[in-house]
Amino acid sequence: MNGGTSALQAKLNSLLNTYTNSESKVAVFVLSHMEQVIYMSVTDLAEQAEVGETTVLRFCRKIGFRGYQEFKLAIAQDVALPGRAASMDMEQREGSLALIHKITEANIKALQECVSLIDASTLDKAIHFLVAARRIHIYGVGTSGITALDAKSKFLRFGISVDAITDPHFQSMSASTMKRGDIVIGISVSGSTRDTVDALRIAKENGANIISITHYMRSPITKLSDVVLLTAGKETPLEGGSLAAKIAQLNVVDMLCTGLMIVTQETALEYQKKTAQAVVDKFY
């Protein structure tokens, strides 16, 4: 971080004598790595500071935040905004042509990074889970909820019993009805979305297998997952709904759907024809 001490840094320093030994480890790490923490999951920070996740959450509450995500948002506002303002000034001077290339390259990079993040055997395992599934429910909130709805539209074309649930209350109710043989796909860039993680925990307790689509390998969502499919396109709290992150999610969904079609072949083709015929009169 460039420049002098920020308001948040000053606050963290002023409270140093009130922290427990474990909380002090968190404070020291955060003060030394403000810009990196913006991109860390709660699990990442806990591991780097050599404390438990509960210590990180307690630390956040002690300094006046409701949780870890609100704390990261404060860091992003405190640290990232000046740099972002300078970046926007530069983009304005460079003009629209440079902007076209810059944004497109960022989205292409997110897709390219998926190649190195996703293990082929892990993808195969996820596909075979889906083939054998009694029913599939997909959970996501916010922009990840939109990805969940897109995934539902794709799976429906293969005749699969699928639903996408984006309301936290309905997620919990759905999760409570899960049984062995059911699959729940949880979508969260951060892997720390409380509503989604809580619903997945309920589904897991009721016997469902969990597939997660997330950017962070070390995060609460992955601890509940039988299969973890990693995406690229990390985002700061100020970039909720990052297009690069969303494109990476949709890329993974497309992999699952295409893999499912390859495995089921004739059945998938039959249902694709039926679903296409069902909506053909909706077009002029």
Q: Say yes or no: 218 and 169 in one domain.
A: yes
Q: Say yes or no: 215 and 150 in one domain.
A: yes
Task: Answer yes or no: is 99 within a domain.
Answer: no
pTM, to two decimals: 0.78
Which strands form 227-230's sheet, in the order they lie side by side? 162-165, 136-139, 183-187, 209-214, 227-230
Three-state SS letters, 39-86: CCCHHHHHHHHCCCHHHHHHHHHHCCCCCHHHHHHHHHHHHHHHHHHH
Q: Say yes or no: 81 and 209 in one domain.
A: no
Task: Answer yes or no: is 58 within a domain.
Answer: yes
Q: Say yes or no: 137 and 72 in one domain.
A: no
Cβ neighbours for 81, distance < 8 A, ≥ 6 positions apart: 238
Task: Answer yes or no: is 95 within a domain.
Answer: no
pLDDT in tens, the chain (284 residues): 445 567 788 888 888 888 999 999 999 999 989 888 988 888 989 999 999 999 999 999 998 898 888 898 888 887 755 545 555 565 666 777 888 888 888 889 889 988 889 999 999 999 999 999 999 999 999 999 999 999 999 999 888 889 999 999 999 999 999 999 999 999 999 898 999 999 999 999 999 999 999 998 888 999 999 999 999 876 666 666 678 889 999 999 999 999 999 998 888 888 888 888 888 888 87
Q: Say yes or no: 72 and 163 in one domain.
A: no
Q: Say yes or no: 52 and 125 in one domain.
A: no
Which domain, by its residues, includes 209?
Answer: 118-282
Q: Say yes or no: 253 and 131 in one domain.
A: yes
CATH number, domain with residue 11: 1.10.10.10
Task: Answer yes or no: is 224 within a domain.
Answer: yes
Q: Provide the domain count of the chain.
A: 2
Measured between alpha carbons, how far is 166 from 247 in angstroms, rounded to an integer?
19
Measured between alpha carbons, how far is 252 from 235 in angstroms, rounded to an integer?
17
169: which 2 tokens?
Answer: 């209350």
Look at residues 228, 219, 164 and name the one whose alpha carbon lies nearest to residue 197: 219
Q: Say yes or no: 133 and 273 in one domain.
A: yes
Task: Answer yes or no: is 134 within a domain.
Answer: yes
Q: Say yes or no: 144 and 222 in one domain.
A: yes
Q: Say yes or no: 150 and 267 in one domain.
A: yes
